[in-house]
Structure 1
Amino acid sequence: MDATNFSTLSAALDWHKAGHRVALVTVVATWGSSPRPVGAMMCIRDDGQVAGSVSGGCVEDDLIDRIRREGMPARTGTATYGVTKEEAARFGLPCGGTLRLVVEPVDDAGWIDEVLRRITRHELAVREVDMESGAHSIAIAAGNEVCALEEGTFRMVFGPRWRLLLIGAGQTSALAAEIAKTLDFHVIVCDPREEFFRTWSVPQTDLLTIMPDDAVLALEPDPRTAIVALTHDPKLDDMALLEALKSPAFYVGALGSKANTEKRRERLALFDLAPGEIDRLHGPVGLRIGSRTPAEIAVSVMAEIISVRSRMAAMAERTEACIT
């Protein structure tokens, strides 16, 4: 769950506690091009104020207008926008784009409080709502569960569904961590150097002070894990990479110049890594955007990670389409 949705839920909870009537709106399906992905959320309160978004703005305007004219919905229901080309143009959707939304009144905000607590504990939770009765439940979610509306049940997944392990607790790591939190990542930082870990202050991240190779093994990387070495110290970075490159992590990268990256590959080849495993290393890390400052490097690193993640998602969709 990205930071935008966390803020949306927080706003809904605060407004409800303040005595406002509130409705939550969630994107549950898209067809064609869509400005916001499945799972995007917004909340509307009774005076028309909103937090979050489900489109470029025109759908939000229509939902606000509906609530002002008709009042808050009495029960959970759905709304669809962009069925025709004319409607898509009216609501500012891309040509052929269609959004299906679940609109839910917040009569009892207790579940929002519970979800926010679970997110703060880095837990992945799924909430299921019976569209007919409004009954709902919250449970621990599997990593592959997604937001959907199927057979009368609305399912929403909350919490970080991806993990990012950063080796090094320096300035670049801090900046990358802040960006990663907004991109649905649970961020773990490892640095055994006291002069670095004592000053780490990025909230909602986990700090490990063990050796990097032990951190990778303890994390048990899976295909939803990215690992980036950012210490500039081969003794630390290489230790992490030796374990990371043998793991199923979808992304493994290391900071360094082209010359230093080649030297690193030569060092890694001296250990029990196959050539194919070494070839998995993204180095020099990050997209080529001419980055020089720590902030620019953090942007390039996270941009490359998102690029790889998006390619993975596209491949999975093509595979699923072929199977079905």
Structure 2
Amino acid sequence: MDSVDLHVLRAAIDWLEQGHRVALATVVKTWGSAPRPPGSWLAMRADGQLAGSVSGGCVEDDLIAQLRDNRLATDTPGLIAYGVRKEEAARFGLPCGGQLQLLLEPRPDIRVLRAMLAAIERRELFARRVDLQTGDATLLPAQRNDTLQFDGKQLVTIHGPSQRLLVIGAGQISHFLAQMAQALNYEIIVCDPREEYRQGWQVPGVQLLACMPDDAVKQLQMDANSAVVALTHDPKLDDMALLEALKSPAIYVGALGSRANNAKRRERLRLFDLSEAEISRLHGPVGLPIGSRTPPEIAVAILAEMTALRHGITLQAAPSRQPEAQLRQVALKLA
């Protein structure tokens, strides 16, 4: 499953190779309840085709109109703001108080776009720097904790896998989890010492390790932009990885299994050199309680919980639901 960056780049390169007029727009700053965060971008053709987004749609329509009417005839980038006035916010469908500032690049360099595409396909993390005076774009190395920078003269955006996910086990759930996580810009590493599981792995763009999971956690030096999810159901593999992961700065550590099995797992972890604070970091059962049953549903629940945690959102457990038969009995008693 492709990331947004890949979608935008492939479309822009394809259109330019076909001889179309193409422009790029990137969200530079936002105020209030803006629909898309800084760094969001889109490629657009003069005939109205788009890839990516910077808002809910109305802003894109105005940008296409400017491109079609040749109001973006300059060769150098420029800034444009939306939602500054209340009536303008209403016109462009922005939330109450929402404003956004965009950098428009009317003539992107296809050579730079091709270099970006190749780097992302290699799962490399890099920065793209755009000089607003000259329009020149250059690619630079980046670190996982780097963020978008804009000083009015240069815009630096981060591209590639800015988060890292270590998955213990190469089973069916791991397949769906890896595919979905790639679209969220995760670098995916799957560790499984079991040869029969590694032979069945079919997700491209994923690093596959054959070492013991605890060794993988230590070798990868998990940081605050990393997550570890144990999915083998085998305590010999999962628990050893969790022992190391819970001591690391990893932002998310989760393990598959029922509440009863995870309670037993926590008791086993207490036998080792882990503090109660470290054990409390374990998300088990892994993922949000959305009633997931199938492997893709479980993958959705895991990534939803990881995303909420990464954005600082605290979620409460979903209330239990009584079977329909019990609800009917309650209704009859109340009647």
Q: TM-score range by the shorter chain?
A: over 0.9
In structure 2, distance between residues paired with 1:246 and 1:67: 53
Displacement after TM superposition at 1:46 (Å): 2.8
How many Å separate the matches in 2 of 1:107 and 1:167? 41
Per-residue CA deviations over 1:253-301 (Å, capped at 9, x if unaligned) read: 0001111001101111111111211111111111111111111111111
**Residue of structure 1 equivalent to 2:308:** 307
For residues 106 and 228 of structure 1, the distance between their equivalents in structure 2, rounded to whole angstroms, comes to 43
Structure 1, unmatched stretches of 5+, are: 314-324
Query: TM-score if structure 1 supplies the norm length?
Result: 0.93
**1:296 and 2:297 correspond:** yes
1:60 matched to which residue of 2?
60
Alignment correspondent of 2:319: none
Aligned ranges 1:72-221 → 2 under 5 Å:
72-74=72-74, 75-221=76-222
Runs of at least 5 residues in structure 2 that lack an aligned partner in the other structure: 315-335
Q: What are the Cα deviations for residues 166-186 of structure 1, in whole angstroms up to 9, with x where unaligned?
A: 111111111111111111211
CA distance in 2, matches of 1:136, 1:67: 21
Match of 2:257 in 1: 256
Aligned counterpart, 2:318 = none
Shift of 1:65: 0.9
Identity %: 56
Amino acid at match of 2:88: E
Who is 2:329 aligned against? Answer: none
Alignment length, in residue pairs?
A: 312
In structure 2, how many angstroms separate the alpha carbons of the residues matched to 1:107 and 1:281? 45
- Say if 2:145 and 2:225, in contact at 8 Å, map to a contact too: no
Query: How much has 1:72 moved relative to structure 2?
Result: 4.2
Tell whether the 8 Å contact from 1:46 to 1:72 is kept in structure 2 after alignment.
Answer: no
Q: Considering only aligned residues, what root-mean-square deviation do their CA atoms show, in Å? A: 1.5
Separation of aligned partners in 1, 2:269 and 2:145: 33
Name the counterpart of 2:40.
Answer: 40
Counterparts in 2 of 1:107 and 1:230: CA distance versus 1, 3 Å: closer
Larger radius of gyration: 2
Question: Does the C-alpha gap of structure 1 residues 207 and 106 become closer, same or farther in structure 2, counting only changes over 3 Å?
Answer: farther
Query: Conserved in 2, the CA contact under 8 Å of 1:22 and 1:72?
Result: no
Structure 2 CA distance for aligned equivalents of residues 49 and 71 of structure 1: 17
Q: Which moved more, 1:128-137 or 1:66-75?
A: 66-75
The equivalent residue for 2:20 is: 20
Please state how far the C-alpha of 1:5 moved relative to its aligned partner.
2.3
In 1, Cα distance between the equivalents of 2:206 and 2:31? Answer: 35
Q: Determine the C-alpha separation between the residues in 2 that align with 1:274 and 1:24.
A: 50
Q: Give secondary structure in 2 for the equivalent of 1:19.
A: coil
Q: Which runs of 4+ in 1 moved over 4 A?
A: none
